[in-house]
Structure 1
Amino acid sequence: MAVQVEIWTDINCPFCYLGKRRFEEALAGFAHRDAVEVVHRSFELDPTLDRGHSDAVVPHIAAKYGISEAQAAANERGIGAQAEAVGLTYRTEGRDFGNSFDMHRLLHFALAQGRQEALLDALYEANFADARPLFGDSERLVEVAVSAGFEESDVRAVLADPDAYADAVRADEAEAARLGARGVPFFVFDRTYGVSGAQPPEVFAQALERAWRDHAPVLESLGDGEVCGPDGCALPEPR
């Protein structure tokens, strides 16, 4: 018996990076953590970007939200402070963003091998902690996947075939839309409870407890009577 937690994310998303760590903190303190199955699902923040696209994050944020680059840079520093508070490295300057479709295809390849978590962590570290650009360079993507323990030839084979795992990515995105996800991270517990955003660990802990309670409900007693157990049977009251 297991509780399934599905997490829709995008490598571009800093709050997905934070949310994963906060969820992990909640999961570590959950009494039934060994019975929780975590699956990461695909969500592209901007699926219209061309493959190979790479650009600087701060000017992009400024243009997208109609704020100054100074304000965008301050926002990045604020996220960096939140990351530091949970023990994550977050570069507040020099990061890039781009099309993440091939990354999601590789994450489905890793899921099929039972090692999705390792690749996701490597991609997050490459994007948010490493000084080198991540997007728009397939060789960089190969390097990251190999560093996570995957065979180079297998990674190159997936990237060389644009159809490999593409349907799985699109199915995840269609399911996110069906479930009403408007942004990421988006957490779904046993297809019953949804949590949107990089919430505090306490919120994830409550969701885990509720999902577990519903998954393995406690019986409500409607009356007690005489029973037999390992030590014998209860003696009837003398009349």
Structure 2
Amino acid sequence: MQQCGQNLDFEVRWLPFQLDPSASEKPYSRMEAYAKKFGKGKEEVKQMGSWMKAKFDAAKLPYEFSEAALASNTFDAHRVLTAAYKHGGAEAQDRAAEALFHSYFAKEKAPNDPEALKEAAKAAGLDGDAVLDKSFAASETQEEMKVGQKLRVRGVPHFVIRTENSRTEQISGAQPPESFVEAFEALMR
């Protein structure tokens, strides 16, 4: 964080939050889900996908959004992330998150796709087959869900920046880098 004029050391921790806890476990069309959610026609949703692709391209990240793109309930993906952190800390959890994001945004797979879950688990150093058991890390994940509820999180992404002495700043939604610099500077005062 050179913008803050200091060397900052921090750890990223991914906590579970479901935008739609009632979403089906059976994968469904992401295009149709977005059309319904945003009240748009198919062509408008495709334009949204093109806009997102441009954002991903600018960040040099892969992104695909076609009629083959799937969505589903996200709880299983959250179970993998919870277990990854418990098993190997922030680094293992980051590797699992990267694998899940790649599966969703680049390969258009549903968040609960068994192969995507296994790949994410393996990336974190976990047994890929173990995560297919629905009870795997389920109670721990349910407990972690309460953190977002206590913070009154309403959408994703939602960032909580906390110092060692428990001072916090929160940033909701996708924000430009300047918003993070401002939050870090506020916490250093």
How high is the TM-score relative to the length of structure 1?
0.68
Q: Which amino acid aligns with 2:144?
A: D
Q: Which amino acid aligns with 1:91?
A: E
Q: Which runs of 5+ in 2 are unaligned?
A: none
Q: Does 1:188 align with 2:160?
A: yes
Of residues 93, 106, 114 in structure 2, which corresponds to 1:138?
114
* In 2: Cα distance, 1:121 partner to 1:36 partner: 18
Alpha-carbon contact 1:57-1:97 (below 8 Å) kept: yes
More divergent stretch after superposition (86-95 vs 108-117): 86-95
Q: Does 1:36 align with 2:36?
A: no
Say which structure, 1 or 2, has more relative contact order (CA 8 Å, 6+ apart): 1
Q: Does 1:124 align with 2:101?
A: yes
Cα shift at 1:28: 7.4
Q: Does 1:65 align with 2:38?
A: yes
Q: Which runs of 5+ in 1 are unaligned?
A: 1-26, 215-239
* In 2: Cα distance, 1:199 partner to 1:120 partner: 20
> What corresponds to 2:24 in structure 1?
50
More divergent stretch after superposition (110-119 vs 166-175): 166-175
Go from structure 1 to structure 2 and tell me whether the alpha carbon gap of 1:184 and 1:134 turns closer, same or farther (over 3 Å shift). Answer: same
1:29-86 CA distances to partner (integer Å, 9 max, x unpaired)? 66333x21211110112111233x2112111111222211111111111111112112
Alpha-carbon contact 2:56-2:62 (below 8 Å) kept: yes
Cα shift at 1:135: 4.1
* In 2: Cα distance, 1:140 partner to 1:120 partner: 11
Alpha-carbon contact 1:91-1:130 (below 8 Å) kept: yes
Q: Which amino acid aligns with 2:101?
A: Y
1:154-203 CA distances to partner (integer Å, 9 max, x unpaired)? 2322332x333223322332221221211010001116211001100111
> What corresponds to 1:92 in structure 2?
65
Of residues 171, 174, 192 in structure 1, which corresponds to 2:146?
174
* In 1: Cα distance, 2:116 partner to 2:82 partner: 18
SS at match of 1:195: strand
Go from structure 1 to structure 2 and tell me whether the alpha carbon gap of 1:182 and 1:135 turns closer, same or farther (over 3 Å shift). Answer: closer
> What corresponds to 1:206 in structure 2?
182
Q: Which amino acid aligns with 1:164?
A: F
How high is the TM-score relative to the length of structure 2?
0.84
Displaced runs of 4 or more, over 4 A: 27-30
Alpha-carbon contact 1:109-1:165 (below 8 Å) kept: yes
* In 1: Cα distance, 2:128 partner to 2:2 partner: 31
* In 2: Cα distance, 1:165 partner to 1:177 partner: 19
Q: Does 1:109 align with 2:83?
A: yes
Q: Name which one, 1 or 2, has greater alpha-carbon Rg.
A: 1
Identity of aligned residues (%): 31
